[in-house]
Amino acid sequence: MKKTVPLLLPFAAATLLGACASRPVESPTRLYVFDCGNIESRDVSLFSPGVDEGQKKQLTDSCYLIKHAKGTLFWDTGLSDSLTAEGIEVWDGAFHLSVDHPLKAQLDEIGVDPATIDYLGISHFHSDHTGNANYFTQSQLIIQKEEKEAAFGPDAEKFGFVPDSYAKLDPKKMRVIEGDFDVFGDGSVVIKRAVGHTPGHQVLWVNLKQSGPLLLSGDLYHFTKNRTFKRVPAFNFDKEQTLTAMDQIEAFIKESGSTLWIQHDKEQNATIRHSPAFYE
Ligand SMILES: [Zn+2]
């Protein structure tokens, strides 16, 4: 009897090790949501011409991190951490912008160094989306051709962009696209072209195992009421393109059964878990 023990134990151990080694260890894709600032609009009719004139509205600003088995993608970089909770007035007082929780501190809290992020996706280059872009100098930026030409061309300010906010991004590192783009090659994280708000505006679709398919809006809409009534902000680059993009994205949402998260919608955002919690 005693002789069989040394023979059996190594066999059992080898079997167990073999079983572990052959089992896939990929963790499911995770989505983190960050609070990337506050926007007070002093006249919400800027977003919905002729409607609710002179009414104030509070908007939020959101950023997202996607951790996929094949890498990491950061989506939108919010208002600059330098704005602080006191904030600033912009557009002759049309907006007040402030940041209660710096993005850098939120990333520190979950042990993420922005210099380690593989890909950066920015829905469009308005400064409430590029505020902290300069943290991501090591990432490959994925950008629509028209947005690149506008943001890195001589007339960037005419499009409402603030080039200093993304000046450290290296144009040689960019991946320039003209359409939809499957970020990790397995169809689970897809940048979708949705132009009109700016020349190369895009949205992000993330298909999570437990939470299901989510679509991050960029500024296709700024709040739910504008989605309901298909209203186009006065400052959009192209109204017709925007309406076409709304139709295309709505059809995609329907067919894929996705939930739309409107990135600036303060009321909807209050119902969404924020980092350090996450969605899988
Ligand atoms: Zn915005």
pLDDT single digits (tens) 70-113: 999 999 999 999 999 999 999 999 999 999 999 999 999 999 99
Count CB neighbours of 121 within 10 A.
26
What does pLDDT average to over the chain?
Answer: 92
Query: Would you say residue 219 lies in a domain?
Result: yes
**What is the whole-number distance in angstroms between the Cα of residue 222 and the centre of ligand 1?**
7
**What is the whole-number distance in angstroms between the Cα of residue 126 and the centre of ligand 1?**
6
What's the pLDDT at 171?
82
What's the pLDDT at 163?
98
What Å distances lie between residue 215 and 37, 72, 73, 203, 227, CA to CA? 20, 17, 15, 7, 14
The pairing of beta strand 88-90 with beta strand 71-75? unpaired
**What is the whole-number distance in angstroms between the Cα of residue 208 and the centre of ligand 1?**
24
| Residue 152 CB-density burial (10 A; 0-12 exposed, 13-18 middle, 19+ buried) | middle
**What is the whole-number distance in angstroms between the Cα of residue 221 and the centre of ligand 1?**
9
**What is the whole-number distance in angstroms between the Cα of residue 212 and the centre of ligand 1?**
25
From CA 200, how far away is CA 129, in angstroms rounded?
14
What's the pLDDT at 15?
42
**What is the whole-number distance in angstroms between the Cα of residue 170 and the centre of ligand 1?**
23
What's the pLDDT at 11?
41
- Residue pLDDT, tens place only, 176-229: 999 999 999 999 999 999 999 999 999 999 999 999 999 999 999 999 999 999
Query: Would you say residue 59 lies in a domain?
Result: yes
Query: Would you say residue 89 lies in a domain?
Result: yes
What's the pLDDT at 27?
84
Query: Would you say residue 149 lies in a domain?
Result: yes
Closest CA to 219 of 101, 229, 237, 209: 237
**What is the whole-number distance in angstroms between the Cα of residue 85 and the centre of ligand 1?**
18
What's the pLDDT at 94?
94
**What is the whole-number distance in angstroms between the Cα of residue 24 and the centre of ligand 1?**
39
Tokens of 48: 């919905």
Q: What is the full DSSP assignment across 209-226? A: TTTEEEEE-TTS-SSHHH
**What is the whole-number distance in angstroms between the Cα of residue 239 and the centre of ligand 1?**
16
Tokens of 280: 């899988």
Query: Would you say residue 277 lies in a domain?
Result: no
Beta strands in the chain (DSSP E): 30-41, 57-68, 71-75, 88-90, 95-98, 119-121, 140-144, 175-177, 181-182, 189-193, 202-208, 212-216, 259-261
- Residue pLDDT, tens place only, 3-52: 444 444 444 444 444 444 455 567 899 999 999 999 999 999 999 999 99
**What is the whole-number distance in angstroms between the Cα of residue 30 and the centre of ligand 1?**
24
Query: Would you say residue 225 lies in a domain?
Result: yes
Query: Would you say residue 243 lies in a domain?
Result: yes
71: left (phi over 0), alpha (psi -120 to 50) or beta: left
Q: What CATH number corresponds to the domain at position 132? A: 3.60.15.10
Q: What's the average model confidence in pLDDT over 269-273?
A: 97
**What is the whole-number distance in angstroms between the Cα of residue 264 and the centre of ligand 1?**
7
**What is the whole-number distance in angstroms between the Cα of residue 218 and the centre of ligand 1?**
7
Domains: count for the chain: 1
What's the pLDDT at 264?
98
Length of the chain: 280
Domain that holds residue 237: 28-269
**What is the whole-number distance in angstroms between the Cα of residue 131 and the centre of ligand 1?**
11
What's the pLDDT at 23?
57
**What is the whole-number distance in angstroms between the Cα of residue 113 and the centre of ligand 1?**
24
- Residue pLDDT, tens place only, 102-147: 999 999 999 999 999 999 999 999 999 999 999 999 999 999 999 9
Q: What percent of the chain has pLDDT over 90?
A: 89
**What is the whole-number distance in angstroms between the Cα of residue 95 and the centre of ligand 1?**
12
**What is the whole-number distance in angstroms between the Cα of residue 98 and the centre of ligand 1?**
14
| pTM (predicted TM-score) | 0.90
Q: What's the average model confidence in pLDDT over 49-66?
A: 97
**What is the whole-number distance in angstroms between the Cα of residue 224 and the centre of ligand 1?**
14
What's the pLDDT at 24?
57
What's the pLDDT at 5?
42
**What is the whole-number distance in angstroms between the Cα of residue 130 and the centre of ligand 1?**
10
Give the three-state DSSP class for 251. helix
Query: Would you say residue 1 lies in a domain?
Result: no
What's the pLDDT at 25?
62
From CA 48, how far away is CA 57, in angstroms rounded?
12
Q: What's the average model confidence in pLDDT over 54-69?
A: 98
What's the pLDDT at 20?
46
Q: Grade residue 158 by pLDDT with cuts at 50, 70 and 90.
A: very high
**What is the whole-number distance in angstroms between the Cα of residue 129 and the centre of ligand 1?**
6
